[in-house]
Amino acid sequence: MQQIFIIGGGIVLLVLVAVVILLAKKRKANKGANSTNRLASSLQNEKEKSAIILGAIQDGVVLIDDQQIIRHFNQGAVTTTGWARNEAEGLDWRSVLKFTDTKGEELPAEETPIAKVFSSGKQTRNDSANMLIKSGTSISTSFSVSPLADSAEHTTGLVAVFRDVSEERAQENQRAEFISTASHEMRTPVAAIEGYLSLALNDKVATIDGRAKGYLEKAHSSTQHLGQLFQDLLTSAKAEDGRLVSHPSVVEMGSFIEQLAEDLRFSAEKKGLFTEFLFGNSEIKDASHSATSTEGNKVVRPLYYVNVDADRVREVVTNIFDNACKYTAEGKVSLGLTGNDGVVQVYVRDTGQGIPAEDLPHLFQKFYRVDNSATRTIGGTGLGLFICRKIVELYKGRIWVESEVGKGSTFYINLPRLSLQRAEQLMAAESNAQVTGSANTTAAKPENLVTPTTQPGATA
């Protein structure tokens, strides 16, 4: 009987131990499940948070993977493009995100900002990308695309962020239209006032006393300033909305700049400034002498061909040269030309007051003038360099300045250089067009050019 009790007690103990172990195991299992659940729920929270944030952004945000498939299309993208989220996600981006050129023609996919980021792996931004939305209309967008890369720097996808800026563009166009109409209309009466003031100041046609002459001279110079302001406003408005008239043709910059230097030196010499024309790396002649050497032979030098509107480039160089004279009290203004296989470089160097470093980044912006005592007394509109930049950009060129206060400034203009072969092809095409009566009159004629004895080479 006692044995039975002992055996029974042992069994109960075993059962109790087994129950305790099972309970401990279950608690452990529950603990594991709880932490997995917590992780899952926190991931879910993060996902929801990201979805809320992306949904709240008004800009379109599109995530594209390396297979060119749209993986995320937020509410902003839906509103801007007219594509429903479930329609766009899972599709190749090329069927959804289409672009047009300025004439409204659809761009080939490889020329779109998205394709460019896939091929270059570099971030891009375009403030006036024309996007073709689902309804078939083209809207103006500010578009930026950033690549996503793995640790080995391979592009694994990209994120495109865009915003409809059609309304802003329309307002800008209206503003530019107003400025250009107003300045165009105001130029005529201002020109008439300037003409009459010139007549009043002309001894041969009018008699005025000394004091009146002094007043009229001031009125005349202010009217000239006003006329220049209207002209600059008109040109900058046209430059901004792409209405700047340009008839590019082949121009040989050597002979062009040399002729221009001849025309410009008078304004510098009137102010007592010394001028020079520099060709290549070395100084080849003073602007006041002709291109031929004393023996009457042509100076042999590389031919720097570019495809530009000569009148527009004249405007740029004249503006920069005039500035150099304006902001240089004494010393020298040099006009130079150099280049290499791909670039033709024109530069204007002065020994004037120079430009403070903090002003340099803003110099080519509209209405920007350095605020110092000299500019307060020297008249100007602050539009000249803005117009210069717009013109140079028209020919895919670059303009910049290097300067040191008290020592002077050098303005550089780089233009893409045409190879001799390409220049000859274009000139032949221009002559053919002239024969058929459709060529423009500013085309450089081959007979104006110095014939090279060798293939032009780099001099810079």
**Considering the rule CB under 6 A, would residue 347 count as an interface residue with ligand ADP?**
no
**Considering the rule CB under 6 A, would residue 75 count as an interface residue with ligand ADP?**
no
Among 93, 143, 327, 395, binds ligand ADP (CB under 6 A): 327
Among 59, 164, 350, 430, binds ligand ADP (CB under 6 A): 350
Segment contacting ligand ADP by CB under 6 A, of 162-170, 254-262, 322-330, 416-424: 322-330
Among 75, 126, 224, 375, binds ligand ADP (CB under 6 A): 375
Among 113, 254, 302, 352, binds ligand ADP (CB under 6 A): 352
Segment contacting ligand ADP by CB under 6 A, of 36-44, 132-140, 196-204, 374-382: 374-382
List the Cα angle 228/231/233 in 5-degree steps. Answer: 105
Buried b (16+ CB within 10 A) or exposed e, 51-70: eeebeeeebbbbbbeeebeb
Spatial distance between the Cα atoms of 108 and 33, rounded to a whole number of angstroms: 53
**Strand locations in 309-433, DSSP E?**
332-339, 343-350, 398-404, 408-416
Residue 215 makes CB contacts below 8 A (sequence gap 6+) with none
Spatial distance between the Cα atoms of 369 and 359, rounded to a whole number of angstroms: 9
Spatial distance between the Cα atoms of 294 and 298, rounded to a whole number of angstroms: 10
Pick between residue 375 and residue 434 the one whose CB is nearest to ligand ADP.
375
Q: Give how far the C-alpha of residue 35 lies from the chain's centroid of Cα atoms, to the nearest Å.
A: 54
Q: Are 85 and 78 in contact (CB under 8 A)?
A: yes
Among 76, 147, 254, 384, binds ligand ADP (CB under 6 A): 384
- What is the closest distance, in whole angstroms, from the C-beta atom of residue 335 to ligand ADP in the complex? 12
**Considering the rule CB under 6 A, would residue 302 count as an interface residue with ligand ADP?**
no
Q: Are 418 and 303 in contact (CB under 8 A)?
A: no
Q: How far apart are the first and last CA of the chain?
A: 118
Among 81, 183, 353, 414, binds ligand ADP (CB under 6 A): 353
**Considering the rule CB under 6 A, would residue 369 count as an interface residue with ligand ADP?**
yes
Spatial distance between the Cα atoms of 141 and 62, rounded to a whole number of angstroms: 14
Pick between residue 410 and residue 434 the one whose CB is nearest to ligand ADP.
410
Residue 327 makes CB contacts below 8 A (sequence gap 6+) with 350, 352, 353, 374, 375, 378, 409
Look at residue 290 and give its three-state secondary structure: coil
Binding mask 387-416 for ligand ADP (x = CB under 6 A): ----------------------x-------
Segment contacting ligand ADP by CB under 6 A, of 34-42, 102-110, 156-164, 350-358: 350-358
Among 363, 392, 418, 423, binds ligand ADP (CB under 6 A): 363
Among 60, 147, 302, 380, binds ligand ADP (CB under 6 A): 380
Pick between residue 126 and residue 410 the one whose CB is nearest to ligand ADP.
410
**Considering the rule CB under 6 A, would residue 134 count as an interface residue with ligand ADP?**
no
- What is the closest distance, in whole angstroms, from the C-beta atom of residue 379 to ligand ADP in the complex? 7
Q: Are 146 and 117 in contact (CB under 8 A)?
A: yes
Q: Which residues of this chain interact with ligand ADP, rule CB under 6 A?
A: 323-324, 327, 350, 352-353, 355, 363, 368-370, 375, 380-386, 409
